[in-house]
Amino acid sequence: MTSTEDVVRRYFAIVADLSSSTDELRGILDPSAVFTELPNPISPSGHVRTVDETVAGFEAGKARLAAQSIEIHEVLVEGERAAVRSTWRGTVGQTEIVAHMAGFVTVRGDRVVAHETYDCYEPFAL
């Protein structure tokens, strides 16, 4: 059995890699997984997404971004839950957007079943 931290790190690696496939993403997600994005400048009202909506957003992001990375600073695990502190960097055109993220990821077995994210974006021009 894979550890919670291993699953979380693999999940973030798939999401960050612009060459990863939707099959890879779906392979680490439980079909009933729920993704909660708390309000931020990109999504002012926040959003709760299903796996299908998350995969669609994954594909849309790949089409918009010239580059992307996620640096994980810390993963704290308690059972099947992990608190993750990370920095996301994405390049749209010539502009780099940076978000400092904190989130909670729930893992069952070797799949993500929930991800709640709190994204704090550095100032950027739209």
Question: What sign for the dihedral angle of Cα 36, 38, 43, 47?
Answer: positive
126 domain-assigned: no
Q: Is the confidence at residue 33, as pLDDT, over 70?
A: yes
Q: CATH number of the domain that 49 lies in?
A: 3.10.450.50
pTM summary value: 0.94
Q: Is the confidence at residue 95, as pLDDT, over 80?
A: yes
Q: Is the confidence at residue 126, as pLDDT, over 80?
A: no
For Cα atoms 87, 91, 96, give the angle at the middle one, nearest 5 degrees. Answer: 70
Q: What is the pLDDT of residues 97-118, one digit of tens each?
A: 999 999 999 999 999 999 999 9
Number of domains present in the structure of the chain: 1
62 domain-assigned: yes
Range of the domain at 98: 4-121
The average pLDDT across 70-76 equals 98
36 domain-assigned: yes
59 domain-assigned: yes
Q: What is the pLDDT of residues 41-69, one digit of tens each?
A: 989 999 999 999 999 999 999 999 999 99
The average pLDDT across 16-25 equals 97
